[in-house]
Amino acid sequence: MADSGPALVQVEGLRKAYRDAGVETPVLTGTSFALGRGETVSMVGSSGAGKSTLLSILAGLMLPDSGEVRFDGEALTGKGEAERATLRARRIGVVLQRDNLIPFLTAAENVELASELAYGDRRADLARQLLAELGLAGRADDLPRRLSGGEAQRAAIAVALVNKPDLLLADEVTGELDSESARRVVELILAASAERGLTVLLVTHSPELARLAQRRLRVANGEVLEEADAEVIER
Amino acid sequence: MSRGSSVSLLGVYKHFQTDAGPVQAVNGIGIEVAPGASVAITGPSGCGKSTLLSLIGALERPSRGRVQIGEVAVSKLDETDRAAIRRELIGFVFQSDNLQPFLTAVENVSLQLALSGADDGYERSLTLLDALGLGGAAGKYPDQLSGGERQRVAVARALVHRPALILADEPTGALDVDNSSVVADLLREAQAEVGATLIVITHDPAVAAGLDRQIALSDGRVTADSKPALSGAVDAAPHAGEVAGGV
């Protein structure tokens, strides 16, 4: 369950626009929201609504034009590139739709690499333990090409979890999976949240999967809205 | 390592079971590649090129036959030892650049060294990117780079640990003509620089023509070899005991 303490992520007045050949296209138009500690939150929205831009800012990959992201009380948007990279490596796990794994490294090596990069420590035992917890005990020495789509995404979750992050950003992680594999991947992410107190932001196109989270958000017209409020506006 | 490894395939077969039945992807191939040589492998889609590269790169084990890199019979190694060979001896480049989107170019290059426990991976990666004319890209994320730049970063990642063998599977397949030429030149220059053996799978005749030797495959067999004297006798069926894992 979500902790009742201060939010892990606090977003205030976030604005971001893309500029191309003198034309400005606003993507985020001053949105504010928070993610509580240990909370699981889904986020839906049409393609181009700004979900990926928002995730890039939350991951510290991109800076907003204005507004602020506070992570555990500190202004992420006020940190330099190197500080944001360290924070991302140690405290934020990221899983994407595809290509999360390096193709010439085994599943276990991929997981070990994440801990090596964050802490200079390979944590081989932890890597195998995590893979086993995700149902991949017999797949640790397999290359990504040998894994099914669902197995590869579960291995990617192990990569994202090995550094014991506070926040997991999952961007369309089930976009290329069948419905059964997709549900299993999302359930594993939610179970990881329950066990570890991990805050999860799950971006998905699937309303069924979105409903598995404790709280639902929708991105529309550059704003992040609570899903219940968005439904009222649509009516 | 600064000197290329020889590559030797002896009576190599690889078959897969698929829903449509068994597939004989590699069907009795014998090739000897000299240390430091550059070789193009060409042939139509489905002819077994990528499977062959996977066998050479210890990504797969042959159903029968022997694959050797330098003095190491990689086809006989277990998973752990093959993983070590891939990490230490080989640099891979694929058609898709496979760069990690949340790491900068220099961080992506240093991945290869991180697993080997090198303390100076970041600095070595930065030096290499500078030497390859990619110093300005070092701090950028993959989606801030062009397709050609990303693939050049992927080449840098394959080189940074100074491998004995560089294996490239359609490295220019996703690029336009100009970028293909840049990446192909980069691979050859890099090969010369580190003295590695280079094996490239390509559909591009210009890329193939730029290498020392061209080998054509069809239906899992060698159908043409511009330096046939180097192969010939090793196309024979494997001897008993050369079956993978049998010795």
Q: Helices A81-91 and A107-119 meet at what angle, rounded to 10?
A: 130
Give the model confidence (pLDDT) of A159-185 as tens digits: 999 999 999 999 999 988 999 999 999
Of B90, B104, B115, the CB nearest to A112: B115
pLDDT higher than threshold 80 for residue B1: no
Q: What is the DSSP string of B130-147?
A: HHTT-GGGTTS-GGGS-H
CB burial of residue B55 (10 Å; 0-12, 13-18, 19+): buried
Give the model confidence (pLDDT) of A4-30 as tens digits: 578 999 999 999 999 888 889 999 999
Sign of CA dihedral A85, A88, A93, A94: negative
B241 contact partners, CB below 8 Å, separation of at least 6 = B247
Give the model confidence (pLDDT) of A77-131 as tens digits: 999 888 998 898 889 999 988 888 998 899 999 999 988 888 878 888 999 999 9
Q: How many CB pairs under 8 A join A and B?
A: 52
Nearest-CA distance A232 → chain B (Å): 36
Q: What is the mean pLDDT of residues B200-222?
A: 94
B219: left (phi over 0), alpha (psi -120 to 50) or beta: left
Nearest-CA distance A16 → chain B (Å): 17
- Kindly report the average pLDDT of chain B as a whole number: 87
User: Which pTM was predicted?
Assistant: 0.81
- Which site among A97, A100, A101, A102 would you substitute to test the B interface, given the most B Cβ atoms closer than 10 Å to its Cβ? A102
Asked if the Cβ–Cβ distance from A141 to B83 is below 8 Å, we say: yes
A98 contact partners, CB below 8 Å, separation of at least 6 = A175, A176
pLDDT higher than threshold 80 for residue B242: no
Percent of chain B whose predicted confidence (pLDDT) is above 70? 91
B chain contacts of residue A59, beta-carbon cutoff 8 Å: 102
Backbone angles phi, psi at B140, to 5 degrees: -95, 155
pLDDT higher than threshold 80 for residue A229: no
Q: How far apart are CA B111 and CA B99, in angstroms?
A: 10
Nearest-CA distance A117 → chain B (Å): 7
B53: amino acid identity, one letter? L
Q: What angle do CA A221, A224, A229 make, to 5 degrees?
A: 95
Give the model confidence (pLDDT) of B112-164 as tens digits: 888 777 778 889 999 999 988 899 999 998 988 998 899 999 999 999 999 99
Count CB neighbours of A154 within 10 A: 26
Asked if the Cβ–Cβ distance from A94 to B102 is below 8 Å, we say: yes
pLDDT higher than threshold 80 for residue B240: no
Asked if the Cβ–Cβ distance from B100 to A61 is below 8 Å, we say: no
Q: Which of the residue ranges A97-101, A136-140, B55-59 would you say has the lowest mean pLDDT? A: A97-101
